[in-house]
Structure 1
Amino acid sequence: MADIERDRFVALAFCRADLLFELDDDHDVVFAAGATSVLLGEAAEALSGRRFVDLIAESDRGLAVEVLEAARAQGRIDDVVVRLNGTGNRRPNVALAGYRVPDFDNHFFLALKMEPALQSERLSEAELKRDGESGLLDEASYAGLAAERAQSFRRAGGRPQITMVKVESLNEMTQALGASDRKRIMGEIGDILTRHSLGGGTAGRVGDEAFSYLHRDDVDPEEVSSLISDAARKLFNTEVKPHAHTLDADGAGLAEHQVARAIAHTIRSFSEKGDHALDKKKSLAQVLSGMVSDTIDNVAYIRRMVAGRDFDMAFMPICDLRLERVSHFEALTRPRDAKAGTSPYHLFSLAEEVGIVHELDMAIVETTIQTMNSLVRERGLMPPVAINLSGQSLSNPQFVEELTRMLRRSGMPPRKLMFELTESVKVEHLPEVNAVIQDLRRLGYRFCLDDFGSGAASFDYLNGLDVDIVKFDGPVVKRASSSQKGSDLLSSMTKMCASMGIRTVAEMVEDKRMAGRVYQCGVDFGQGYYFGKPDFNPFIFADRFMGGL
């Protein structure tokens, strides 16, 4: 009877899992069931007595150990993503969940489920990029992996922390060394940080003298810094001064999945600013605490701004270059009480980093339509308006459903609205996003690909997305007006777009000479201060509205 009951529970569990494991207190397999032959290359019975962590890919093995240890106290693991040590070169990603049950000799009961989305979202070990000298992850790879592992460790009940290390005098010391000796000390620093990082691989180089690592809260950063000093002294009889500051991977007001992203945003900000981030009057701790505090404060500000619709829309004219008349406007968000020095672009980038840009985009679309309806009632007909949308939002099915529903009940004719797809973050799933764009185009809404020419991804987007308009990035336009080579390049891109039936816009057109130059290159529309600055009242341009409104 007991075997029948067990088989029944196993069968029910497969509604949620592809693999089931029972582990003893030493993390050895007591029982296994499921698609073990397919995913692990061995029959379930053959796994009994094996160390569970040996079934995990080597790159995630350290993380698996740390998660299981953290779950000893927490008792629960919620969907931690790890790679399996599959057959051949297969390293499938699975979501691991389970419990530690005191009534069963403190055994762990684990369910592992294959998730199709996970297979493309996680970078493989080969895709992670490393610094050539230290062997540590580069800034971008580290920020992404630290975000992911911080989230996983929190789900297992652990308390992840992130430490930033500034090694003063490192550049001065290494400049006096040969290439091989420089690599030795960098490699030693890399080894020390890797050994003490969460899962044994969550450490990165984020600047010339700056490093960072994610770790458990029982790791002593001062001890790690001492090891770096000792290594420099032992290898080259010289002194370096590592200054470390540790941050909890936590943040007031942020959802679980946003906490790690906020930390990743701080890492990127620190990396981008480099030594400029280090005020000589402040310690590293003060600088980093300030950066994290700014991140958390700005996320809270975005949330308040969205909830209270605490922003206004300004309208920037986009003109037909031949007629120099207003074809349409771009709606630009103007927060009412943003901190000095905080640009709308920074707020949008942060919203994308922490995964709340869909909330901001929805509020902006709704506010723009309400503003347009109010203006039309008071002043009469006006040209169409383009609204910026993040590719991240268009990748969110819930956002798309809500957007479509809101557009239908708004009463705004589709020909009066268009959407500009921004390139601030990479669009990962072009076919899915293109399907959304085509659904909206069939309803009568036009789409513009913004910032074209700003990176190699532009041509991937143009190839993968069917749009009505392409807007050339400002630097592309400036080069076209300052050199023949730049002009020839813009002409070529314009002809390419025209051959596909796509109209074109040049932004940052500052004077009449630039307007004439881009017109000669075949561009259809221009945007920039030459045609007019953004204004809350679009009707100041009414004398230049195109006919047929």
Structure 2
Amino acid sequence: MRLLRYLTMQWRSVLRRGGERRRPLAFGFAVLVLVAGSAALLTAMVVQANAGATGYIIGESHWSKAQQDAVASLYRYAHKGHPADLARARRALRVPLGDREARLALEREPADVDAARRGFIEGHNAPEDVDRLIWMYRHFAGAPYFRDSVRIWREAEPDIERLGALAGQMQAAWANGSPSTVVIEEFQSQLLRIDRRLRPMELAFSQSLRRGAQAMRWLLLGVAGSMFLIVAICAVTLMNWAMRRVRESEGVFGAAFHQANVGMLKMRPDGLLVEVNDAACRIFGRARESLLGRRFHGLLHPEDRALLRAGRRRIAWQELGSRMQNRFRRGDRSTLWGRWTATTVRMGDGDARVFVVIEDVSEAQALATEIEYQASHDDLTGLINRREIERRLQAALDSARSTGARHSLCFIDLDQFKLVNDTCGHAAGDVLLRQLASNIASHLRSSDWLGRLGGDEFAILLCDTPLAGAERAAQKINEAVAAGGFTWGERLFCPTCSIGVVEVTADAPDIGWLLRAADTACYLAKEAGRNRIRVYQESDAALIRRVDEMEWVGEIRRAIADERLLLYAQRIAPLNGDPTLHYEILVRLVDVQGRIYQPGSFLAAAERYDQATAIDRLVVAMALEQLGNHPRHVAQLGLCHINLSAQSVANPEFRSYLATMLDRSNVPADKLCFEITETAAIGNLTEARIFIEAMRQRGACIALDDFGSGLSSFAYLKDLSVDILKIDGMFVRDMVEDRVDDALVNSISSVGRALSKPTIAEWAESEEVLARLREVGVDYAQGYAIHRPCPLAELIRESEAAALPPPATVAAAG
């Protein structure tokens, strides 16, 4: 007080001095007023900017929560197609889109403040914060730190628009019927990629704002300190004014502290709470009195307390991350997920205070957990899915390589599961799969895991279990499944399973090899009679053959995808009469090194593993395309034979596909002859009749391939409307030397004449055979004695160059 009175007296004395001194003093006073006014303005702007930054941080939490809600809802919609999930996703997307509209409105010339206000309200920002958000964007959009946040904001918006576009694509996909698993997984993969891109952006947005706010706080402290010294030295009046401004600023800060929508805590460096706002009380579900005087680490979940090193007198706040996310305990002992930041502020007395801003992100954490669970678990059984199986199997293989541990992988396949689906429907099959999953899981240890690979296939990893123990465990599982039984309505089923076992050791090449090995062993267990166990041994000849076939399956799939199938052709010549342009299309496979393989190398594997229909589809499409591009060749063509597998003939979907291709193609159907094997036709006579009639109605011919190898009786031919009989080459090749083969060919030729069906002899490889075929009355021959197979394109070029007149076709039976 004495100092105050002294400075006041000196100030008045100076004011009473002469006019020459008054002008400099007046100027100095004006300068001081200007400096003080500038300091006050800067203080107000910093306080307002801090409030605006807090508003944007709060808005980011709404933006982040809405984005995650949209991803989670679209993830569920991609899988199940529920309209409610799509509607929820669109509602969630309105939050970031509203913020986007607000930003675009503020960037217009002139700025559309009303539209910006509507956009921020649509973005779920508090109405009392909207004016601060608009003010800060208009005045600080290009300022350091905030401009980085705006840039991140803009960079994130294309992904939000992609989410909206994905929602439309999913809606269109579901509108056209249930999309395939591949399409669903692709949608879900895109959602997860977008979510992974946006999460770092959301964190970077808030961090940039916090750094800017912290820099502004330091700026404010520096300027305020300087102004205080100037004002204190020069004038008590300015000091009083400055003090009033400080008190006003403290009032603004106090109001912001207590009225903020996020939780705010003030504490000592040792974590003792000295002040909390109302939002923090709501978050923790505690009264203010019960929070004050507590330690901050006492609010954390017991498993998360170690991060604060609570045993120390002072907590190393500066060593913590800039943004933490941990579990906390509410007053009712329930758990919440809180995202929080801590800032240490030095006080005038040299001590420090720690300010913590915290928000409840429990719902966002639950959404993230749900997305993670859906991505790694099977929806039907609740077991881990193939993706998670492969991840865990890789971890097991890594442990085997690093520690020498020995585990065992079991591949389980239900026996005759299709019988349940076909007789009782898929609902019964789903119940059986859930029952089986529960039954198997009950016989596993806590260290083992069970997952569903897809369909009726499951995988088990027996941890730290060599083959001998794995066989015993697999036997118990096999017996438990067989003893379980399954009842649906009045029907009783006794399901069994086949199990393949492979040991997981450091010598295993990779997880793909382990899965194939276990699958191979399981397949051989089924071939051996089902309801049994087979252990993979590399010395087993059957396993080696099975592995070779499985490798061919992979190569076939890649060749189909890469269109590495080639079409060859082999002529068919009449044994009497004028030559005709008549040939059979043959398929070849080209590997990535350019080696060409004949059908004998890969067709058996294709038929065994259900890839034959895929090959047939591609062959038909390629053949019709090549023929359709050469009308001159087609005009000369008698018949073009195309082989079809037994799987395709019995497949209604393939029949529909083939009919559609014929209807769309400009190749006349009467130029085509589809060859089906005798065993395929007899093995599924009903489907064969339907296929034959459907093709003949469109004008195509049907040839019965490998005729003579299927049955000893030909009576079925009376009811099977085929046009041509192709005599199996194994009877033709040696008919000159083998009297039995000669008699069979002669007999088949006679049957063909009796039924008015032309005959074609395959594997005619010598002039002697051709001469004998003419003697017994066979109509056509095919083999090396006639023509060696060549690329179809080459045969087309030759025929067009020769410009032969259109020949008569094979005289097919009507």
- What's the TM-score, normalizing by structure 2? 0.36
Q: 1:309 is matched with which residue?
A: 563
1:374 to 608, 629, 645: 629
Deviation of 1:431 (Å): 1.3
Q: 2:807 is matched with which residue?
A: 547
In structure 2, the CA distance between the partners of 1:100 and 1:394, relative to structure 1 (3 Å rule), is: closer
Q: 1:483 is matched with which residue?
A: 738
In structure 2, the CA distance between the partners of 1:159 and 1:543, relative to structure 1 (3 Å rule), is: same
Q: 1:98 is matched with which residue?
A: 431
Task: Describe how 1:122-521 pairs up with structure 2 within 5 A.
Answer: 155=455, 158-159=458-459, 198-199=478-479, 214-215=498-499, 250-251=515-516, 264=523, 284-285=538-539, 291=545, 293-323=547-577, 325-337=579-591, 342-376=597-631, 381-422=636-677, 428-456=683-711, 459=714, 462=717, 465-521=720-776
- The separation in 2 between residues aligned to 1:250 and 1:458, in whole angstroms, is 45
Deviation of 1:518 (Å): 1.1
Higher strand share: 1
Greater CA drift, 401-410 or 534-543: 534-543
- The separation in 2 between residues aligned to 1:260 and 1:425, in whole angstroms, is 27
CA contact under 8 A between 1:266 and 1:295: conserved in structure 2?
no
Q: 1:532 is matched with which residue?
A: 787
- The separation in 2 between residues aligned to 1:457 and 1:338, in whole angstroms, is 44
Higher helix share: 2
Q: Cα deviation per residue 1:472-515 (whole Å; 9 max; x = unaligned)?
A: 11111134322344323222221112222211000111122111
Deviation of 1:286 (Å): 8.7
Deviation of 1:524 (Å): 0.6
CA contact under 8 A between 2:550 and 2:605: conserved in structure 1?
no
- The separation in 2 between residues aligned to 1:380 and 1:511, in whole angstroms, is 31
CA contact under 8 A between 2:568 and 2:789: conserved in structure 1?
yes
Give the residue type in structure 1 aligned to 2:574.
Answer: D
RMSD: 5.1
Q: Cα deviation per residue 1:101-158 (whole Å; 9 max; x = unaligned)?
A: 99xxx999xxxxxxxxxxxxxxxxxxxxxxxxxxxxxxxxxxxxxxxxxx99965674
- The separation in 2 between residues aligned to 1:456 and 1:160, in whole angstroms, is 44
CA contact under 8 A between 1:261 and 1:353: conserved in structure 2?
no
- The separation in 2 between residues aligned to 1:375 and 1:266, in whole angstroms, is 51
Deviation of 1:313 (Å): 1.4
Q: Cα deviation per residue 1:58-96 (whole Å; 9 max; x = unaligned)?
A: xxxxxxxxxxxx979679x999856999xxxxxx88854
CA contact under 8 A between 1:389 and 1:419: conserved in structure 2?
yes
- What's the TM-score, normalizing by structure 1? 0.52
Deviation of 1:304 (Å): 2.4
List alignment gaps of at least 5 residues for structure 2: 1-379, 386-411, 440-450, 462-471, 483-496, 505-510, 529-536, 810-814
The alignment partner of 2:644 has SS state of strand
- The separation in 1 between residues aligned to 2:600 and 2:553, in whole angstroms, is 14
In structure 2, the CA distance between the partners of 1:296 and 1:380, relative to structure 1 (3 Å rule), is: same
In structure 2, the CA distance between the partners of 1:251 and 1:401, relative to structure 1 (3 Å rule), is: farther
- The separation in 1 between residues aligned to 2:601 and 2:526, in whole angstroms, is 15
The alignment partner of 1:451 has SS state of strand
Deviation of 1:427 (Å): 5.7
CA contact under 8 A between 2:588 and 2:598: conserved in structure 1?
no
Give the residue type in structure 1 aligned to 2:588.
Answer: R
Give the residue type in structure 1 aligned to 2:707.
Answer: F
- The separation in 2 between residues aligned to 1:196 and 1:374, in whole angstroms, is 62
In structure 2, the CA distance between the partners of 1:476 and 1:196, relative to structure 1 (3 Å rule), is: farther
Structure with bigger RCO (C-alpha 8 Å, 6+ apart):
1
Deviation of 1:343 (Å): 3.2
The alignment partner of 1:481 has SS state of coil
Q: Cα deviation per residue 1:198-217 (whole Å; 9 max; x = unaligned)?
A: 35999xxxxxxxxxx94376
The alignment partner of 2:584 has SS state of strand
The alignment partner of 2:764 has SS state of coil
Q: 2:105 is matched with which residue?
A: none
CA contact under 8 A between 1:313 and 1:331: conserved in structure 2?
yes
Corresponding residue pairs, total: 348
CA contact under 8 A between 1:395 and 1:432: conserved in structure 2?
yes
- The separation in 2 between residues aligned to 1:260 and 1:107, in whole angstroms, is 22
Q: 1:207 is matched with which residue?
A: none
Deviation of 1:333 (Å): 1.0
Deviation of 1:464 (Å): 5.5
CA contact under 8 A between 2:413 and 2:499: conserved in structure 1?
no
The alignment partner of 2:787 has SS state of coil
| Structure having the higher Rg | 2
Q: 1:276 is matched with which residue?
A: none
Q: Cα deviation per residue 1:212-243 (whole Å; 9 max; x = unaligned)?
A: x94376x999xxxxxxxxxxxxxxxxxxxxxx
In structure 2, the CA distance between the partners of 1:300 and 1:267, relative to structure 1 (3 Å rule), is: same
**In percent, how many aligned pairs have the same letter?**
25
Give the residue type in structure 2 aligned to 1:386.
Answer: H
Give the residue type in structure 2 aligned to 1:547.
Answer: P
CA contact under 8 A between 2:696 and 2:702: conserved in structure 1?
yes
List alignment gaps of at least 5 residues for structure 1: 1-69, 86-91, 109-150, 162-191, 203-212, 222-245, 253-258, 271-282
